[in-house]
Amino acid sequence: MNARHAGVLACGYALLMDSSFMDIAATARGDAVRALDEDVGSGDLTASLIDAQRQTSARVIAREAAVICGRPWVDATLKLVDPALSIRWLVEEGARCQADDVVLEIEGPARSLLTAERTVLNFLQLLSAVATKTATYVEAVRGTRAQIVDIRKTIPGLRIAQKYAVKTGGGTNHRIGLFDAVVIKENHIAAAGGVTAVLKAAEAVAKGAKFIEIEVETLAQLEEALAAGATMILLDNMSLPTLHEAVRINAGRAILEVSGGVTLENIRPLAETGVDRISIGALTKDVKAIDFSMRFSGT
């Protein structure tokens, strides 16, 4: 990893942990630069058909109910295309909207609005989808102790954006990447020689890590991990009776996280076992975009 990439990751990590607006703004701007480079390239040929002096206004309309997310990315995109564009948000970040609600209004040069349109909608539809899905899962476990947690199954290049959207929807961020925490899976355990051995190795090399977490697949492994001093344990694909027994055995000694096969249909019983966290790859991986459209004045 070069210094530039390390700096971007550090910036994103700070924004997620500390909710620093300056960090999120910098990350959003970087994402917007790449998105516009991809879409606009050397110039918008079709927008050049429009009179350069033509001014217009546009409304972004939600075509379905959603939790709105992505304002920093939308604002960054519009200002990069043309600082003269005026932006007025009608639905706040993290707030719910209904179908046919106007989410924001934009005024300025017609060419600029046409150039920015698709990139703006791409960010808004993806991040609102993640936030909306997260909020649905959060609501499903309301009243239990379980937090809804994301993982690393994200779109390449947009991990920080998607994890920001999870937080906007009321979820909790897991590790950002391989660099900030230790998550020991079955292959790590096998390669290191067992649960106790791998935890001992982790303690020696993971100074400054956000956390050390170990995955277990059986109650015997859980007991070994607890005896070895584990403070965060991932219970992988366990049945409900086994999860209840795992919570009893743990007795509050370690943070317990459930992973694998989580759906809206089974999440409530999982949460009611008393686990602390439920991690769900579908929050960021299996996402159906929220439908938004941009309508210019007169259309």
Q: Which residues are catalytic?
A: 118, 153, 185, 215, 236
Q: Are 289 and 125 contacting, i.e. CB atoms less than 8 angstroms apart? A: yes
What are the E-state strand segments in 3-97?
55-62, 66-67, 86-89, 96-97
CA dihedral (95, 96, 100, 101) positive or negative: negative
Residue among 45, 50, 59 at smallest CA distance from 299: 59
Whole-angstrom distance, CA of residue 47 vs CA of residue 43? 9
| Residue in 136, 79, 110 with CA at minimum distance from that of residue 299 | 110
**Exposure of 265 by Cβ count < 10 A (0-12 exposed, 13-18 middle, 19+ buried)?**
exposed
Place of tokens 């989580």: 262
Half-sphere exposure of 234 (CA within 13 A, CB side): 20
Give, in order, the Cα–Cα distances in Å from 180 to each of 44, 72, 118, 159, 254.
Answer: 40, 24, 34, 14, 20
Tokens of 247: 């919570």
